[in-house]
Structure 1
């Protein structure tokens, strides 16, 4: 963790210094010295991590670095806010006191800041000297025992082997196929899936025994000469003495031997693409190579990927049966199977887990109570191993994945420990939290990229390393095709154990359901967290996986020094967790950067009074909570990046018209139903860094400000007048990537209004268009080249307009189309290749529709169809039968004759 700690602290300070240079007046030189020392320490700690230094002394130095970095960060931010306050020229001390009470109370002066900066600088210089001395000692390479543990061999026999038959056939056929252009196959997947087992089965396959073969296992400390020597020695039994050969000669000999021969080389457990680039030079184009790796990124240009899948439940049970030696004739076999399948499901298809639990059961007496006991204690056996040596295999396998992470990904991975097991983590929220924590580096930004783009790359890399599982979004987003992610249970255990380790104290997650009590009153359930849990942690995450109402969360009153507080509810709904004024002492956690209070019931619907004084806050989420009014002090949070005010419907939140003053605000989430204190529309014009604006309406927000938001990338807006619609649809902001528009009750009868709509449909960022109760002259705009090139969802409801539905079939990206009570032709014919991407089609209250034909090749991806109250439609089109993706047809409020025809048709089973 040395590298990741260094990276987080350095990035936070460096980014702060870049932003605040203009404020730091006479202490600027001292600050630059601090910055230089941090950079030097960063380099030293990267050396420590690569050299596998893990001495107690080094851990102590890292802890000291963290304390110094926090101290420097707090000093610089507080000072910068005070300087800005002075520049703004507040007229009265009383006014300044109201806005910056926490700053004035500390009464910093330039002289005092300079002294403190010099103290930090001196401590950092001393720390750098100690680190240099510690790293000057001999590094600690892999012990012989650890090296042997990691090695794999081709001749090892897999006694208990299940599944993979199809995988073996595919890979063997690829090796034998001499016409293949690329002769490298990459088997990749999560640690413990059986990549080495599969490679060994292929290597030892009877059809490949005539091949010259070599098997080498690559450790994370790659030594090219040793690898080349081992390959040559196994391929060519007549190679002679090779110990004295140099790398170049070994490569030449391998190439020479492999030319014109049938060869197979397995490179097992390769971790870095750079290592592969060195190894691959030894092989001629005709040499078959199989790589096993945990990273999808390895050898992308040269290899054919083969992703290994998790075991099915049947395969898992078969494997468990083999390992435990349960007799097929056992009279209790059915009962053993019932328990065994539960055990297998907890292993989530990971063969390594099944093997470990099977090994434990094999050592015990085969009785149903013993199996039930193991089932109950699965967590202990797989995670902590209580008394069982077998469990170390799981830890060793998964630890390697963590150790191999680059320094910038380690804190991102550890942060996932904030979320409970089996949680579906919203990628959008995760990106913004990573950014608020300072994990995302400004230096990694490419041209025209935002920090959010960098965060997405980080998550993608974790997924390609098979450490995180990405879930594809049901709704299309141009910025990201995945809307959530998660961890395999064992990977979550690894993450939690690393993050909560005593020496790390990266985060502490509390499962609130374990601390529910109604001891004081049967009608008032509380969460009472032991105070010791919150001691000495900078990040505290409380997860609430229950639906019961909780009157309060107690036990956090004495927690000091929190930098991140998250109270996460699994399901968003009615606020059900009481949050009192004194739940957290914000004075003792005045440097809080993240405050998440999902589904909380705040006293009187008001935020704790001290919350508005947290000038260091980056991320504040009140999602699903009962907050009725946001205090004016929110504009005193100069570093705030994300503000999430999505309170539950039908609640209305009252906002002071000061949000436009939060200059660094990047992501603002609102509900349509807001009330602006003072009666004016919500100003947005000062938010030059705003990237996300979701969800606003022209009734309460100043839509004319939107073109001034030069950094805006994502916009979700409801408009109720033509001028607002024109402003939104004619926005020429090149940064804008996603626009979602809901047009309500607009009168578009004038020709120029329809021209606005026509031009707006040419906007590349337009993803969603919903028009409801609009009065339009003539027809909906006909398709022309470039129109709706990224539109994925279109809904027209109760609009006075004539629609040519066939025209919509030309929209290249349209996935969802819903039409309700609009004027259409009596006959619809969907031609081949029309609606190429559509997945959902809804036809509601279309009284004109009489006949509908679907020709073969139309709607090739349709999965769901709804027909409701179309009384004159004669029947469901015969062409639907040829759409192989169709899974459901929902029919409501249709005539009896229509339903009788449906039941007679082949599509009946879908209805």
Structure 2
């Protein structure tokens, strides 16, 4: 973790230096010196991370560096804001005369900044010297002994026998057949989360009876990879015992191994490989026709040269079978079901991870097999593992998972630890996670490609964490686009354990479950424990309450808070936490960067006045809060990048027309119900860094400003007139990736207006589109080649005019289609090969729909169908039987004749009758 602070600090300084150097005058040279010293520090800390010399002294230096980073960042930002505010707006003669007084003040400020910058330089130089000395020292003999002991504990051998083996029979047969099949790729990669059984599976294949005649070798790689011992070990296994190896260098060993394996049936297992560069070195010794099995926790290893085989978690049945074996459980028949119920609960809590099932099974093995003992273990699994009889077993689990954390590159460690802000079993919204990472400064500008944004880099970081089996990605349930395949992510419970413990150990973030600290009846309040009031920089409070909490006690005592997050985690949408004006002492936390308060109730519906003075703030979220009006001073938050104003949908949010002044704003989320104070429409022109704009309306926003937003990547807009529709759809900004469009109450019946729509449908950025109560007489749409090439979601609701489904069926990327109260003419026919990507189809209140036909190969990927109140439809089309992907059909308010026919059809098991 040490180097991540330096990395974040460098990113902050780089941004400030580019934008603010013109204000720093004579201080510029000193700031350049700070940046140069930081680069040296950064290189040293990366070396420390790579060599794993995480000594107590190094941790102390890290803490000092973090404090130094915060101090320098705040100094530069505060100065830049003060000078910039003084230099803006001098137009009159009086302003110009006052400018001379400002120059004197600026000179004093520059002098102050210069002195503080020189203090930082001196401290940084001293820290660099100490760190160089720490890293330059040779490891003591004790440290070497520890390293060797850890290496031996992680060493695996081919002859070891796994006493408790369950499942994987199909995996074994598949992998053996792949080794024997000369036409398949010769390198197979078994990968998955630590503790899934990769080594066990590889060992079963290695020792399989069909491969005994092969020339074989088993080598285990450690994170401190050394090529020569690996090649020596491999050669010894392939050669007779009297071969002389002493004195051979790496090149000689590579040539010997390559010569021995050439032209022979062979199998090499490389167990627990961590980096692609290790594979690049080892493969030089292996002929191209040599069978290789790699086990790894990273899907990126040998990515272009291997066939991946990702291990899955055990099913409940497999987990229960494994638990019985490890626990040595053989009850009499009459007791089996009683124990099985508890045993399956235990397995469910282990989430199918063999290692954790084995650990719990080992604890049960030591106990008397009684229902009481099993219930105790089931109720107190965490406590048994961490604090009681299972301490040593838990350490084994933790050691296995910690290897994955240790192997993370320096830029991913803070991103991973940040997931500790969220509770167990929580689906983390990926878009919000990216914004939080960016606001914290974890995403490197240096990693940006020529056509990428920081969000793209953040998405790449998350994908890499998933490829390393640290994070589980969840595919989008609604639709996916070119830039968004996953809408949420999560952690296995044991990985969440590791993440939380590491975050606490590093004093990285403190997470509080509000339900555990409620007190007071009948009006509960949240009282933070004294341990939280110690020095922390990030605080996340998760809440899921049946009743609202009247206040939070203890926040006012916190000092130097950098991030404060109040995150709703459950379904009790009516409950809120009241945040009073003085709940947080903003004077003590002037350097707050993140202020996220979801579902929060503010006194009087007003944002605390001191919030506008947080000039260092990057991220402000008032999602689902009760804020009714924003102060004009909101624009004084010069460094704000993300502003989320999606307040409670019951509230009309009154906005001052000042958002256009927030020049660094990159992501703006607005409530659908807004009212401008003093002006008619919201201005956006001038937001040259804005990338996300959601959601605006032509009734309240200057739509003509949208094409002027030169950095805009994604826009969600609701239009009520054809002129606004034309502006949105004709936006020629080449960087625009996604347009989400709602068209309401528009008259599109004239030839001119239909042409506007049809030309607009050629826009490559159009991703989702809904029409509500529109006049579309004259048929919709007139299909042209290239139309709606990236449209994934289309909805037509209460619209006049005939809908031409045959044209819609040609949209190549459409994944979700909703039709409600629209006119159909004749039989509804889904032609062969139409709707090639459609997964979800909704038909509702289609009074003209009498007959529906689905031809062969139409709707080839359909998984879900909903039919509601189509009272004249007599039966489902026979062609639905041919769709192998169909999983669910929901039916509501249909005729009795229709329902009788449905019950007779082959797909009846998929049907759900809704009341």
Shared fold, TM over 0.5: yes
Q: Secondary structure at the match of 1:843?
A: strand
1:220-239 equivalences in 2 (<5 Å):
220-237=223-240
Match of 1:101 in 2: none
Is residue 347–residue 354 contact of structure 1 (8 Å, CA) maintained in 2? Answer: yes
Structure 1 stretch 365-374 or stretch 444-453: which is displaced more? 365-374
Match of 2:70 in 1: 70
Q: Return the alpha-carbon distance in structure 2 between the equivalents of residues 106 and 19 of structure 1.
A: 18
| Deviations, residues 12-49 of structure 1 (Å, cap 9, x unaligned) | 22232223222222211111111111111111111222
Which of these residues, 485, 496, 499, is aligned with residue 495 of structure 1?
Answer: 499
| Deviations, residues 404-456 of structure 1 (Å, cap 9, x unaligned) | 00000000001111111111110000000000000000010001100000000
Is residue 774–residue 798 contact of structure 1 (8 Å, CA) maintained in 2? Answer: yes
| Deviations, residues 362-383 of structure 1 (Å, cap 9, x unaligned) | 1222232222222222113444
Q: Return the alpha-carbon distance in structure 1 between the equivalents of residues 592 and 91 of structure 2.
A: 29
Is residue 646–residue 670 contact of structure 1 (8 Å, CA) maintained in 2? Answer: yes
Match of 1:137 in 2: 137
Match of 2:562 in 1: 563
Match of 2:706 in 1: 706
TM superposition shift of 1:652: 1.2
Is residue 689–residue 711 contact of structure 1 (8 Å, CA) maintained in 2? Answer: yes
TM superposition shift of 1:90: 6.7
Match of 2:253 in 1: 250
TM superposition shift of 1:262: 1.1
Is residue 612–residue 637 contact of structure 2 (8 Å, CA) maintained in 1? Answer: yes
Q: Return the alpha-carbon distance in structure 2 between the equivalents of residues 509 and 88 of structure 1.
A: 41
Q: Secondary structure at the match of 1:557?
A: helix
Q: Structure 1 603/90 Cα, relative in aligned 2: closer, same or farther at 3 Å? A: farther
Is residue 781–residue 808 contact of structure 2 (8 Å, CA) maintained in 1? Answer: no
- Count of residues paired in the alignment: 896
TM superposition shift of 1:108: 6.6
Is residue 798–residue 820 contact of structure 1 (8 Å, CA) maintained in 2? Answer: yes
Is residue 902–residue 908 contact of structure 1 (8 Å, CA) maintained in 2? Answer: yes
Q: Return the alpha-carbon distance in structure 1 between the equivalents of residues 831 and 399 of structure 2.
A: 58
1:798-837 equivalences in 2 (<5 Å):
798-837=798-837
1:29-108 equivalences in 2 (<5 Å):
29-89=29-89
Which of these residues, 165, 168, 184, is aligned with residue 164 of structure 1?
Answer: 168
Is residue 545–residue 575 contact of structure 2 (8 Å, CA) maintained in 1? Answer: no
Q: Return the alpha-carbon distance in structure 1 between the equivalents of residues 492 and 36 of structure 2.
A: 40
Q: Return the alpha-carbon distance in structure 1 between the equivalents of residues 790 and 437 of structure 2.
A: 29
Q: Structure 1 707/225 Cα, relative in aligned 2: closer, same or farther at 3 Å? A: same
Q: Secondary structure at the match of 2:801?
A: strand
Which of these residues, 506, 516, 519, is aligned with residue 517 of structure 1?
Answer: 519
Is residue 593–residue 617 contact of structure 1 (8 Å, CA) maintained in 2? Answer: yes
Q: Does 1:438 align with 2:441?
A: yes
Q: Does 1:691 align with 2:691?
A: yes
Structure 1 stretch 897-906 or stretch 217-226: which is displaced more? 897-906
Q: Return the alpha-carbon distance in structure 2 between the equivalents of residues 44 and 75 of structure 1.
A: 25
Q: Return the alpha-carbon distance in structure 2 between the equivalents of residues 853 and 35 of structure 1.
A: 68
Match of 2:612 in 1: 612
Match of 1:586 in 2: 586
Structure 1 stretch 192-201 or stretch 647-656: which is displaced more? 647-656
TM-score under structure 2 normalisation? Answer: 0.95
Structure 1: tracts of 5 or more residues without a match: 96-103
Match of 2:860 in 1: 860
Q: Return the alpha-carbon distance in structure 2 between the equivalents of residues 723 and 853 of structure 1.
A: 38
Q: Return the alpha-carbon distance in structure 1 between the equivalents of residues 726 and 242 of structure 2.
A: 78
Is residue 79–residue 108 contact of structure 1 (8 Å, CA) maintained in 2? Answer: no
Match of 1:277 in 2: 280
Q: Structure 1 108/808 Cα, relative in aligned 2: closer, same or farther at 3 Å? A: farther
Q: Secondary structure at the match of 1:289?
A: strand
Match of 1:342 in 2: 345
TM superposition shift of 1:871: 3.8
Q: Structure 1 907/214 Cα, relative in aligned 2: closer, same or farther at 3 Å? A: closer
Q: Structure 1 327/749 Cα, relative in aligned 2: closer, same or farther at 3 Å? A: closer
Q: Return the alpha-carbon distance in structure 2 between the equivalents of residues 575 and 660 of structure 1.
A: 34
Is residue 864–residue 889 contact of structure 1 (8 Å, CA) maintained in 2? Answer: yes
Is residue 754–residue 777 contact of structure 1 (8 Å, CA) maintained in 2? Answer: no
Q: Secondary structure at the match of 2:488?
A: strand
Match of 2:124 in 1: 124
Q: Secondary structure at the match of 2:161?
A: coil
Q: Return the alpha-carbon distance in structure 1 between the equivalents of residues 847 and 526 of structure 2.
A: 56
Which of these residues, 152, 163, 169, is aligned with residue 148 of structure 1?
Answer: 152
TM superposition shift of 1:305: 0.4
Match of 2:302 in 1: 299
1:696-735 equivalences in 2 (<5 Å):
696-735=696-735
TM superposition shift of 1:543: 0.9
| Deviations, residues 298-355 of structure 1 (Å, cap 9, x unaligned) | 0011111000011111111111111111124275333222222111111111111111
Is residue 575–residue 624 contact of structure 1 (8 Å, CA) maintained in 2? Answer: no
Q: Return the alpha-carbon distance in structure 2 between the equivalents of residues 846 and 489 of structure 1.
A: 46
Q: Return the alpha-carbon distance in structure 2 between the equivalents of residues 54 and 894 of structure 1.
A: 68
Match of 2:99 in 1: none
Q: Structure 1 239/2 Cα, relative in aligned 2: closer, same or farther at 3 Å? A: farther
Is residue 865–residue 888 contact of structure 1 (8 Å, CA) maintained in 2? Answer: yes
Match of 1:634 in 2: 634
Structure 1 stretch 422-431 or stretch 388-397: which is displaced more? 388-397
1:197-212 equivalences in 2 (<5 Å):
197-212=200-215
TM superposition shift of 1:648: 2.0
Q: Return the alpha-carbon distance in structure 2 between the equivalents of residues 229 and 178 of structure 1.
A: 28
TM superposition shift of 1:135: 1.5
